[in-house]
Amino acid sequence: MSSDNHRDRDVRDKIVNLMHKIGRGRKRQVTSEELQKLKHAAGRLDQMLKASADADLQTLRSAAVRLDQLLSDIRNGKDVTNDLKRRDGEIKRE
């Protein structure tokens, strides 16, 4: 998680720096065509962010279901050691 937080902070810092650079630039009127392009790009960005959040939520739900099953098996006295398989640093249920 630490590397994700660090990566998020780096991205956030880059965006802030770019916004500051743009804000210091020469002021000019935005054309309606440029405004439409910006609105379209903002819409696409919103869609990408929502899709990413939805995927993260689905991953969390799936992990919660697997954990619930594992805990249920343990609670019922089942040997779960054979059901677990370690691969690339992750614990996966076969």
pLDDT band at 19 (very low <50, low <70, confident <90, very high): confident
Averaged pLDDT of the chain? 82
* Contact criterion met (CB below 8 Å) for 91 and 84: yes
Contact between 83 and 60 (Cβ < 8 Å): no
| pLDDT band (50, 70, 90) for residue 26 | low
Find, among 58, 61, 73, 57, the residue nearest to 84 by Cα: 73
The answer to whether the predicted template modeling score (pTM) of the entire model surpasses 0.75 is no
Q: Which DSSP category does 74 fall into?
A: H
Alpha-carbon distance 49 to 15, whole Å? 15
The residue whose two tokens read 């720096």 is 17
* pLDDT of 11 over the 80 cut: yes
In order of 22, 35, 85, the CA distances from 89 in angstroms are 42, 46, 10
Give the model confidence (pLDDT) of 39-80 as tens digits. Answer: 999 999 999 999 999 999 999 999 999 899 989 999 999 888
Q: What is the phi/psi pair of residue 81, to 5°?
A: -65, -35
